[in-house]
Amino acid sequence: MKAYNIINTASCMKKLLSEDTFDTFLLVEASVKGKVELSLNGRLNDSFFPDDKLNRLLEKGQFIPYGMVRKILFDSMMGEYLPSSFSIILCCPSDLIRKVAGDNPDPVNGMYLNFRYRQEKLILTTGVSMKTFSIDKSAETLFDNFVPKLMESVKIAFEEAN
């Protein structure tokens, strides 16, 4: 697990809320404290979708693609003032997990990007969950090495937090 201070909050928020930068990631959960408190659970509601659509979505994971709900978050945060705080937890899609984990993606349950805004600071924290307990931290190391490259490729300026 690593933590990064996002240097340009406005630029990162534009990529999170206005652009499709993270649309293929899966929304685990999000919360916004602004005009109102908003909480989103990203777990797919299987009784909502027709079976064929649900099956296509479930191929990507148990959570909804971020791009399908990004506008809800955009609408809740935009206005005269920034929210006092927000949190957006995204899970990497399965194809990205396979790419990052390389030879051994099977034990990885999820690779996560946790964006948290509080006290006018935006922090990104990485996280990896495993299907079973393991002392092997190679998947976590691979993901921690991948995230800075990802942030650079989408032009989000950051520095490692203390």
**What total of structural domains would you count in the chain?**
1
Long-range contacts of 130-139 (CB under 8 A, 24+ apart): 131/106, 131/107, 132/107, 134/107, 136/107, 138/104, 139/100, 139/101, 139/104, 139/105, 139/107, 139/108, 139/111
pLDDT at 59: 65
pLDDT of residue 82: 80
Given this model, what pLDDT does residue 80 score? 81
Range(s) of the domain holding residue 54: 3-160
HSE (side-chain half, CA atoms, 13 Å) at 100: 27
- Please, are residues 91 and 111 in contact by the beta-carbon 8 Å criterion? yes
Residues of the chain scoring pLDDT < 50: none
